[in-house]
Amino acid sequence: MPSILDRDTFNAFVRETHAELAGATSGPLAGLTFGAKDIYDVAGHRVTFGSPTWLETHGPAARTAVAVQQLVDSGASLAGKTQTAELTYSLNGENVHYGSVLNPNAPGRDTGGSSSGSAAATAAGLVDFALGSDTGGSVRLPASFCGLYGMRPSHGRVSLDGACPLGPSFDTAGWFARDAAALEKVGRVLLGDTAPAATPGRLLLASDAFERAGAPVGAALQAAVAKVESMLGKAEAVTLAAEGLDDWGMNVFRVVQAHEAWQSLGAWITEHKPQIGPGVKERFAWASTVDRGMLLAAASKREEIARRMERLLAGNAVLVLPTSPGIAPKIGAPSAEIDDFRARALAILCIAGLARLPQVSLPMATLDGCPLGLSLIAGRGNDTLLLDLARKLA
């Protein structure tokens, strides 16, 4: 049988540091195959982290990342390492060093980053599911772009031991699947949670998130929202950010994430001076300028937002919102267009990250013939509630 690299026509898998692991002969994931974003260690293999310089300056891993080992021990076989955006600091699916990852369900359009390879490998049917990571939307946005189920867990629920960091207080180990049952099955393993899911409470609709996404997205998601309402009851419209979601995205999330990214990678960048691609280069340059005053103001506002969201989602409430402000941009779109899309996307995607909440993206709509996701957010720790709900909606 041809190897996964021979069958991969989407540039989903990494060639420079290929790794395979056979799954246990029994377990809840027995017989399934998966890809792992190339930020996760596999013993005896190196990691690219989307950067040739990172690959050159780091040796083989001594042990396999905890999340990867959990999946293998549960019966799933690792088919290969999947492509990632450079140093995971990007939301599109392009990498100047390793090329664009192609979107199987929206040809000619971005796959979404930074978990681009994991999304493409799953959407193309090369694997049954894939492990990614989500800091600012790097599972949720590719899920929306590629027509997949994508899960960002509560912060800290799934181990990131053995994974490359970007923004540690936002970084999560997320995953993709083509069907909701598989998404839940994988989630139960990674979360280590076999207890019955909680019963959902009231349904809330994030009116300001829909407004930020725009009328065409709202219209495209109308039937999907109605389907959720048919299960949970009429949604109550709420405004999350009186000051505007753009303020949350640009003045809170972006500042704290940038500070953490520079703390995580600044010393390595300064020492090795890698040739960083456009967009990512400018983000790291700005990250190096975030001072203590900027950080403290943003961090304080973040905790205020987290408390606000905790109150809102009490009693097992579920929040419905668009995953993305639109369909995937075309590959090679002008940088100004990409930057504008990124800012609008972060205004919506930052909500779960700032409040450390779980979010699932559901492939319940299309717009202009391309996939478009609807998202559900629940209170911190209510991950299995979302996974159970996704399966029932499917």
Active site residues: 37, 114, 138
The string of DSSP codes covering 12-27 is -B-STT---BPPPSSS
Q: In what order do the strands lie in the sheet with 175-177?
A: 77-82, 33-37, 129-131, 175-177, 149-152, 359-367, 370-378, 318-322, 203-206, 236-238
Q: Give residue 217's identity as a one-letter amino acid code.
A: V
| Contact in structure between 155 and 257 (CB atoms under 8 Å) | no
User: For residue 338, which of 352, 350, 325 has the smallest C-alpha distance?
Assistant: 325
203 bridge partner residues: 318
How far is CA 15 from each of CA 4, 158, 176, 236, rounded to the nearest angstrom? 10, 27, 21, 49
How does DSSP classify residue 106? S
- Alpha carbon distance 79, 34 (integer Å): 6
User: For residue 153, which of 139, 168, 141 has the smallest C-alpha distance?
Assistant: 139
| Contact in structure between 81 and 14 (CB atoms under 8 Å) | yes
Is the bond into 264 cis (omega within 30 degrees of 0)?
no
| Contact in structure between 81 and 35 (CB atoms under 8 Å) | yes
Q: Which two tokens stand for residue 297?
A: 């103001």
- Alpha carbon distance 222, 290 (integer Å): 40
